Every structure is written in structure tokens, then in C-alpha cells.
């Protein structure tokens, strides 16, 4: 049987992606049916599954996890849609600047942001609470408490809205304004136009974004760990972590069985998303020209503008301000005489790890983002623009790294690559290469979603036209698709660069002193109580990402063709 070049390419791609994802995921599954960690002597056993099914806590935690994920997903999607619509379809002032700032908000590392909110919203000593109590007679506590369901939801919405915004903005920007104009000319109100024109046009991207947010919220871990556990709020991921990190000896089988359960939930969500999207075509970027003129909000203009500003203030200005302020204080959040100092900066700058972690972060994040985006572009094209039967498994495989709690994925990767037999005495484990592999793998869900969201809007007529005029499949991909998806590629590259530059959990078990990056150094300093130094690293991370973002944006404007 003759296999075409295209099919060979798709199968090769599937093998590469499947290896990167399924090998570590397989190790997690392997861990769930063994009574010890992979690599250690032990026996096959289903006790892990039996234990979680028998444990009534599992069902309580599952319900709690789903409830919390649904609430947060709804709020995140609504907020992201509002922001994306406001900056791309309306006439509010400084739209371009606001868009850039919201994207920048996503680039801020999570951990320092959470710590900053603790300093602000701790029920007793939080700066905002103290300020509120000086105005209103509220007693010794409150009115806000970051260690609560409200605190978890609020922080999660702030942390995760920008990433959905990044996914949705290109979709809103690519909509043909003439459709909205026709709606308005037919007498529809602004809100009716949004509901009947904008939302249906963005439906595929919205569904993808909702699914992504939901999966992310089920897998969410750091916020729940830091804010949930002190309030005795537990979810499945913190249960998994407790089984691993806070039980001696670690209970690998039930922890891994729970992680497999989370994988199953993700597969169901992806299947539902496929079912909802069906086989319909959602192309909005066509071979014809279209208008992108904004909608005049008239009297609502400044109301919407204020809403966007409020989000930016809460998401960026306040936490960044607290980090900056805290880094100059002896003890962040503690008021005392002579409280300001440069000692934390002097110490941070004097360590060799400081410089090394910055260089490593830049090199590792750049390489991994580039490699991942090349793979994700190829995957996105196969998934959206071809009918190969391998496209569904390929799509599903790219979701998996997001379905697993990071710490579990980290264990899977540790076991996978430490046991990976390579010829000629080569080794991947213990090198910087392993960190790059980890980030490429972790980048698949976001990278692929960015590219599929972009590609799904490009109608087949462009490619068909190219093929009719004699171009090969490869020429069509490189000369028609690539230029059209370049903004999406750049946006995806930035997202993956950022994720790599601030990711901690994925590489916490893989790095060593030679491959240390900013996030792992920040963790080390935070863990040993040097919070202010950790703040400084958080600020430097933000600065690096800002430079990368600005550079990529300027470069993008120069070299990338507009989407028309």
C-alpha cells in the first residue's frame, strides 16, 4: 500500500507528540497500578483505585472540585469575553494600550501575585482590610478574607482571565464589522448585536476557551494549596499532593489513581467540546476583505472603559505595587520603625544563582517556546484543516498535559526520563535539555489551542484556491497558511515563553543547580523564608517578560503580514 507524503507526515507528528505526552502520562498510569514508585522494586496492584473508590472523601472532594471549577470557569469566561470585546470591538479610549496591559497582566508570575494578595487581603493584617477598618467600625477582622472560597475564586479569576483574553482577542479582532453594522442598521441594539452576531461568530473559540478554562480549574493547584488548605478547603489536586508530599511514605498508588481520574474527566470534556462543535465550518477570515471598525458604545463608553480599568488595577497595579513596596521593606507587610531597606536587593544580586537563573530562563524559555510552537502549528493544521483519521487522537493527546496536576506530571516526567534508555551513553536527565522537553510538553495544550483557534477561522477557499493553482500541500501550508497564522504563532510563542519563564511545578523535580531558572530559585527562596528576595525575583521575571513581549510585538509589527 502506498502511503502519501502527507499521511507519513501526520503519522510522524503523531508519534513525536504522543511520545512527548504519553510517555510521562503512561508513567503516571503505571504508578497507579503499582504499589511503589516506578523504578523501585514492587508489585502490580489495583489497591490505589480500590482505596480511592472506597474513600468517601473522594466523592466529597470531586463534588467540591467540580463546583469550584464551574463557578470559576463561568466567571473567567465572562470576564475574558467582556475584556476581549471591549478592547477589540468597541470605541473605548486607549484600546491598544489596554489590550497590551491585560496581556502583560498574564505574564506576571502567579506565586508572587498570590502572596501579594495575601498581604492585602489577610483578614487581620491585610493592608486593604486594615484600611477598611480605619474607615468602618468592623472589629478586628475582615471585611475580606483571602483564605476562603471567595478568596480562591477571586484570585483564580484574576490569574486566569488574561490567558483566555489572549485566546479570544484575535477572534474578536478578526470579525467582520460589516456584520455588526448590518445588524445595527436593521434596528438591533448594541447588546442584541453582541448576543446574536459577536457571540455566535466567536462560538468555536469560546467553546475551546471554556473547555480550556474548565480543565485548568479542575487541575488548578497552587491557589488551592496556598489559600485553600489554611481554610480547610480541599480539592482533588490538593488531596493528590497531600498523598505524595505530606504522607510518609508517599501514597503513590491512590495519588496516581486520582490523577488518572482527572485525566478521564478531561477526556470527557474534550469529547463534549468536539460534539458541540460538530462538523460545522466557522470560517470568518475569508479571501474577501472585511472591515474592523469599532462599535460606538455612546453613553456606555466610559462605563465599559471603567470596567476594564478596574480589572487592570486589581490584576496588575495593586499586586505589582505590593511586590515593589514589599521588596524594599525589612519584612513585607509588617510596619515597624526604619522599615525600608536595600538589603534584600544587595543579597539577591550578590548570589551566583541569581545571574545563572536569569540566563537559563531566557535561553530555556526561548528554545522551548520555539520548538513547541512549531510542533503546535503543525498539529493545529492537521486537526483543523485535514480529514486524516489521526487528527482526533492528535488533538486529544495535546490536551493531556493540562489535565494532570503539575506536580503529578512532574513525577511522570521524572520517572519517564530518568528511566529512558538512550544509546551511546547519552543522557537527557540532568541536562538543560530535560527542562526544554518538559516545557515543550507542558506547552502543547495552550500552543495547540492558540493555533487551532486561529486556523479554524481561515476558510478552506484560500487553500483550495492555492491547490487549484498547482501549489503542493507543503507550499500551501508555508505560503498561505503560515503568513495568515503568524500573529497567532507569535501570540502562542509569547504565551509559551511566559509559561516557561514562570512555570515552577513542571520542572521542580527535573532541574539541578546548573539548570536552575528564576521560578525555581524563587521557590527556593520563598521556601526558606526569604519572601522579599522572592518578590525581587518575581519583579525580574515580570521585567524579562515585558521586554520579551515588547520586543516580540515590535518585531511582529515589522515582519508579520496583517491578517487579511
Partner 1 sequence: MPTFKTRDEWKASYDAHIAELVAGSKKEGSKLVVYMGRELPAWYEQVTKYFKEKYGIDVEFMGLGAFEAASKIKAEVAAGKVTGDYQASGSSLARPMALDGFYQYYLPPAGLEPGINWFIDPLLDVKDPAFAGKAFSPIISVSMFGIMINTKLVPPDKEPKTWKDLLDPAWKGKLIMQDPSVSGSGNRIYWGMSKRYGADFLKQLVTQNLFIERNEANAARAVASGGYAMYIGSATTHLRQVEGSPVKVIFPEGVVLSIDDVGVITGAPHLNAARLFANFQISKDGQEISTKYGERTPIRGDVKPALDILDTAGKKILYFQTYDDDVNLMPQLREQAKQIFNIK
Does position 414 interact with partner 1 (CB under 8 A)? The reply is yes
The least distance separating partner 1 from the CB of residue 266, rounded to whole angstroms, comes to 23
Return the HEC string of 349-366: HHCHHHHHHHHHHHHHHH
Using the minimum distance from each CB to partner 1, give the nearer residue, 71 or 229: 229
CA separation for the pair 16, 174 (Å, rounded): 32
- How is residue 315 annotated by DSSP? I
The least distance separating partner 1 from the CB of residue 319, rounded to whole angstroms, comes to 17
Does position 429 interact with partner 1 (CB under 8 A)? The reply is yes
- Residue partners of 164: CB distance under 8 A and separation at least 6: 76, 77, 80, 209, 212, 213
Options 44, 340, 424, 527; binder of partner 1; rule CB under 8 A:
527
Stretch that binds partner 1, among 46-54, 66-74, 81-89, 523-531 (CB under 8 A): 523-531
Span 276-315, contacts to partner 1 by CB under 8 A: none
- Is residue 509 within 8 A of residue 410, CB to CB? The reply is yes
Cell numbers 506547552: residue: 443
Does position 512 interact with partner 1 (CB under 8 A)? The reply is yes
Does position 86 interact with partner 1 (CB under 8 A)? The reply is no
Residue 24: half-sphere exposure toward Cβ, Cα within 13 Å? 32
CA separation for the pair 446, 167 (Å, rounded): 9
Cell numbers 487541575: residue: 219
Q: Does a cis peptide bond (omega within 30 degrees of 0) precede residue 143?
A: yes
First to last CA, the chain: 41
Does position 529 interact with partner 1 (CB under 8 A)? The reply is yes
Contact string (CB under 8 A) for partner 1, positions 100-119, x = contact: --------------------
Does position 331 interact with partner 1 (CB under 8 A)? The reply is yes
Cell of 559: 515582519
CA neighbor of 415 nearest in space, from 42, 8, 134: 42
Does position 59 interact with partner 1 (CB under 8 A)? The reply is no
CA neighbor of 280 nearest in space, from 374, 368, 162, 201: 201
Does position 424 interact with partner 1 (CB under 8 A)? The reply is no
CA separation for the pair 484, 489 (Å, rounded): 10
CA separation for the pair 35, 44 (Å, rounded): 6
Options 347, 482, 483, 556; binder of partner 1; rule CB under 8 A:
347
Cell of 382: 492537521
Does position 132 interact with partner 1 (CB under 8 A)? The reply is no
Using the minimum distance from each CB to partner 1, give the nearer residue, 204 or 333: 333
CA separation for the pair 145, 545 (Å, rounded): 31
Does position 459 interact with partner 1 (CB under 8 A)? The reply is no
Does position 355 interact with partner 1 (CB under 8 A)? The reply is no
The least distance separating partner 1 from the CB of residue 220, rounded to whole angstroms, comes to 17
Options 122, 237, 357, 519; binder of partner 1; rule CB under 8 A:
122
Span 236-265, contacts to partner 1 by CB under 8 A: 238-239, 242, 244-250
The least distance separating partner 1 from the CB of residue 162, rounded to whole angstroms, comes to 27
- How is residue 140 annotated by DSSP? T
Using the minimum distance from each CB to partner 1, give the nearer residue, 67 or 335: 335
CA separation for the pair 223, 180 (Å, rounded): 40
**335 burial class (0-12, 13-18, 19+ CB within 10 angstroms)?**
exposed
Number of residues that bind partner 1 (CB under 8 A): 56
Does position 464 interact with partner 1 (CB under 8 A)? The reply is no
Contact string (CB under 8 A) for partner 1, positions 374-413, x = contact: -------------------------------------x--
Does position 509 interact with partner 1 (CB under 8 A)? The reply is yes
- How is residue 226 annotated by DSSP? I
Using the minimum distance from each CB to partner 1, give the nearer residue, 137 or 529: 529
Does position 271 interact with partner 1 (CB under 8 A)? The reply is no
Cell of 85: 470585546
Burial state string for 270-300 with b = 16 or more CB within 10 A and e = fewer than 16: beebeeeeeeeebebbeeeeeeeeebebeee
Using the minimum distance from each CB to partner 1, give the nearer residue, 59 or 195: 59
Options 200, 230, 393, 561; binder of partner 1; rule CB under 8 A:
230
Does position 425 interact with partner 1 (CB under 8 A)? The reply is no
Options 513, 558, 559, 562; binder of partner 1; rule CB under 8 A:
513
CA neighbor of 103 nearest in space, from 327, 339, 360, 308: 308
CA separation for the pair 256, 244 (Å, rounded): 9
Does position 37 interact with partner 1 (CB under 8 A)? The reply is yes
Does position 232 interact with partner 1 (CB under 8 A)? The reply is yes
Does position 57 interact with partner 1 (CB under 8 A)? The reply is yes
Cell of 121: 487581603
Does position 134 interact with partner 1 (CB under 8 A)? The reply is no
Does position 336 interact with partner 1 (CB under 8 A)? The reply is yes
Phi-psi domain of 331 (left: phi exceeds 0; alpha: psi -120 through 50; beta: other): beta
Using the minimum distance from each CB to partner 1, give the nearer residue, 44 or 340: 340
Using the minimum distance from each CB to partner 1, give the nearer residue, 441 or 457: 441
| Residues near partner 1 (CB under 8 A) | 37, 39-40, 57, 61, 122, 124-125, 225, 229-230, 232, 234, 238-239, 242, 244-250, 330-336, 338-339, 347, 411, 414-415, 418-419, 427, 429-430, 508-509, 512-514, 516, 523-531
Amino acid at each position: 500500500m502506498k502511503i502519501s507524503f502527507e499521511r507519513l507526515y501526520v503519522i510522524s507528528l503523531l508519534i513525536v507528540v504522543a511520545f512527548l505526552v504519553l510517555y510521562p502520562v503512561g508513567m503516571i498510569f503505571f504508578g497507579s497500578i503499582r504499589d511503589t514508585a516506578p523504578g523501585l522494586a514492587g508489585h502490580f496492584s489495583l489497591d490505589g483505585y480500590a482505596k480511592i473508590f472506597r474513600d468517601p472523601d473522594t466523592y466529597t472532594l470531586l463534588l467540591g472540585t467540580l463546583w469550584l471549577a464551574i463557578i470559576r470557569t463561568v466567571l473567567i469566561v465572562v470576564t475574558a469575553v467582556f475584556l476581549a470585546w471591549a478592547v477589540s470591538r468597541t470605541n473605548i479610549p486607549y484600546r491598544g494600550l489596554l489590550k497590551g496591559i491585560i496581556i502583560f497582566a498574564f505574564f506576571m508570575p502567579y506565586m508572587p501575585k498570590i502572596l501579594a494578595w495575601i498581604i492585602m487581603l489577610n483578614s487581620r493584617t491585610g493592608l486593604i482590610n486594615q484600611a477598611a477598618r480605619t474607615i468602618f467600625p468592623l472589629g478586628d477582622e475582615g471585611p475580606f478574607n483571602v483564605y476562603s472560597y471567595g478568596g480562591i475564586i477571586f484570585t483564580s479569576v484574576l490569574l486566569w482571565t488574561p490567558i483566555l483574553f489572549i485566546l479570544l482577542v484575535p477572534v474578536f479582532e478578526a470579525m467582520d464589522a460589516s456584520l455588526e453594522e448590518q445588524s445595527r442598521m436593521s434596528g438591533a441594539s448594541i447588546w442584541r448585536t453582541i448576543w446574536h452576531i459577536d457571540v455566535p461568530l466567536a462560538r468555536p473559540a469560546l467553546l475551546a476557551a471554556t473547555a480550556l478554562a474548565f480543565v485548568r480549574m479542575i487541575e488548578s493547584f497552587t491557589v488551592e494549596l496556598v489559600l485553600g488548605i489554611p481554610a480547610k478547603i480541599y480539592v482533588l489536586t490538593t488531596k493528590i499532593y497531600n498523598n505524595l508530599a505530606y504522607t510518609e511514605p508517599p501514597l503513590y498508588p491512590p495519588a496516581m489513581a486520582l490523577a488518572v481520574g482527572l485525566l478521564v474527566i478531561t477526556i470527557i470534556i474534550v469529547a463534549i467540546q468536539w460534539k458541540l462543535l460538530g462538523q460545522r465550518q466557522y470560517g470568518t477570515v475569508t479571501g474577501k476583505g472585511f472591515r474592523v471598525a469599532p462599535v460606538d458604545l455612546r453613553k456606555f463608553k466610559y462605563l465599559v472603559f471603567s470596567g476594564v480599568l478596574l480589572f487592570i488595577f486589581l490584576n496588575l497595579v495593586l499586586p505589582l505595587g505590593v511586590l515593589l513596596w514589599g521588596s524594599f521593606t525589612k519584612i513585607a507587610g509588617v510596619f515597624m520603625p526604619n522599615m525600608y531597606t536595600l538589603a534584600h536587593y544587595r543579597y539577591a544580586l550578590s548570589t551566583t544563582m541569581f545571574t545563572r537563573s536569569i540566563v537559563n530562563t531566557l535561553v530555556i524559555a526561548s528554545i522551548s517556546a520555539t520548538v513547541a510552537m512549531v510542533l503546535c502549528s503543525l498539529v493545529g493544521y492537521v486537526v483543523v484543516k485535514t480529514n486524516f483519521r489521526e487528527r482526533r487522537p492528535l488533538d486529544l493527546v495535546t490536551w493531556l498535559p493540562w489535565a494532570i496536576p503539575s506536580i503529578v506530571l512532574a513525577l511522570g516526567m521524572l520517572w519517564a526520563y530518568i528511566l529512558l534508555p538512550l544509546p551511546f551513553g547519552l543522557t537527557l536527565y540532568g541536562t538543560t535539555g530535560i527542562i526544554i522537553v518538559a516545557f515543550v510538553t507542558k506547552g502543547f495544550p495552550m500552543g495547540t489551542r492558540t493555533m487551532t483557534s486561529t486556523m479554524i477561522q481561515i476558510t478552506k477557499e484560500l487553500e483550495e484556491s492555492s491547490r487549484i493553482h498547482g501549489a503542493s500541500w507543503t507550499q500551501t501550508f508555508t505560503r498561505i497558511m503560515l503568513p495568515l497564522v503568524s500573529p497567532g504563532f507569535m501570540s502562542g510563542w509569547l504565551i509559551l515563553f511566559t509559561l516557561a519563564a514562570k512555570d515552577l511545578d513542571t520542572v521542580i523535580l527535573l532541574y539541578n543547580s546548573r539548570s536552575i531558572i528564576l521560578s525555581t530559585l524563587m521557590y527556593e527562596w520563598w521556601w526558606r523564608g526569604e519572601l522579599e528576595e522572592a518578590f525581587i525575583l518575581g519583579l525580574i521575571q515580570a521585567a524579562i517578560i515585558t521586554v520579551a513581549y515588547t520586543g516580540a510585538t515590535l518585531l511582529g509589527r515589522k515582519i508579520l503580514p496583517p491578517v487579511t
